[in-house]
């Protein structure tokens, strides 16, 4: 499991105190997390600063950061040209206090950006110069993920969870052939897969979920949760555990990226998930596609 920091930065779900951000980073490291996922756009660069302070002097933590989102304007713009990316990498290295970034991802580019080749060529140059160790793409959908793999990406990051699995499943063959690492984000579908929401749940204006689903869509998605509750049994104590274990059960997933906003949330998720190597039983995984079909979810 890896630590994701979009929600922690305050950008996704509303403000998070700096002191709590520091507690989460410190607790994750204490618990043995060795991968932290971030981006230069999270908190306008402040999240990278916090991570840099937390891991100063440590070489046992893999840092994944992303670039290509320019927040100097409102609304933010995408920039994947050579000059912008080179400057962005240098800024991230400075904030993270690292001479070399372990994994650098293009932050949600289009297929056309990847097909043009300039952005990927720039990252290859930066790798040759020793400024990044590995490069890849944080993809908004499977088509971009496929284009990234065909461009030679060493790592792809993609949303992947029980209710959103089809995109990665369709890429499985190409991932295996390429040998690329896979970071699975949105492992709990922005909290939906905790199974604790009321159908009339409301979100604050600062929470991206306020506009992600209409009230009827949210109600439908909460209804779908009933089809996965059969996974909660024996050592799988909660739906949260089932959700994360589902992601970990996929052998092509390198890391399930969690997104806690507090140290208490982090501890709860880890406690719920428990230890492997048996994450979900084969018999349950075999039944799951039929249940997803009954729920109206593509696999």
Catalytic residues: 42
Query: Would you state the structure tokens that stand for residue 3, as one six-digit string?
Result: 């630590």
Burial class of 133 by CB neighbour count within 10 A (0 to 12, 13 to 18, 19+)? middle
Alpha carbon separation from 131 to 16, 54, 91, 154, 164 (Å, rounded): 31, 20, 11, 16, 34
For the chain, the residue count is: 299
Distance CA 11, CA 8 (A): 8
Q: Are strands 69-70 and 77-78 parallel, antiparallel or unpaired?
A: antiparallel
Phi, psi angle pair for 274, to nearest 5°: 75, -155
DSSP for 2-14 reads: EEE-HHHHTTTTS
């Amino acid at each position: 499991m890896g630590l994701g920091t979009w929600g922690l930065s305050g950008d996704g779900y509303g403000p998070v105190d700096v002191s709590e951000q520091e507690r989460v980073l410190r607790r994750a490291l204490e618990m043995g997390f060795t991968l932290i996922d971030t981006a230069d756009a999270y908190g306008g660069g402040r999240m990278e600063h916090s991570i840099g302070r937390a891991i100063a002097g440590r070489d046992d933590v893999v840092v994944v950061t992303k670039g290509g989102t320019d927040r100097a304007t409102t609304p933010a713009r995408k920039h994947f040209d050579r000059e912008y990316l080179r400057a962005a990498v240098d800024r991230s290295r400075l904030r993270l206090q690292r001479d070399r970034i372990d994994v650098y991802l293009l932050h949600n580019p289009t297929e056309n950006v990847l097909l043009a080749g300039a952005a990927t060529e720039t990252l290859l140059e930066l790798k040759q110069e020793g400024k990044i160790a590995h490069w890849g793409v944080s993809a908004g959908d499977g088509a971009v993920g496929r284009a990234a793999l065909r461009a030679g990406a060493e790592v792809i990051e993609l949303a992947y969870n029980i209710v959103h699995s089809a995109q990665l499943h369709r890429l499985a063959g190409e991932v295996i052939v390429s040998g690329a690492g896979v970071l699975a984000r949105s492992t709990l579908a922005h909290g939906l897969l905790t199974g604790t929401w009321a159908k009339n749940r409301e979100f604050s204006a600062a929470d991206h979920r306020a506009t992600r689903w209409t009230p009827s869509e949210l109600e439908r998605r909460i209804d779908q949760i009933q089809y996965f509750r059969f996974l909660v049994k024996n050592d799988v104590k909660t739906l949260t555990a089932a959700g994360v274990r589902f992601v970990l059960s996929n052998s092509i997933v390198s890391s399930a990226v969690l997104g806690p906003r507090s140290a208490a949330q982090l501890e709860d998720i880890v406690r719920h998930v428990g230890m492997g190597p048996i994450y979900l039983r084969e018999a349950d995984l075999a039944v799951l596609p039929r249940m997803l079909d009954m729920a109206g979810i593509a696999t």
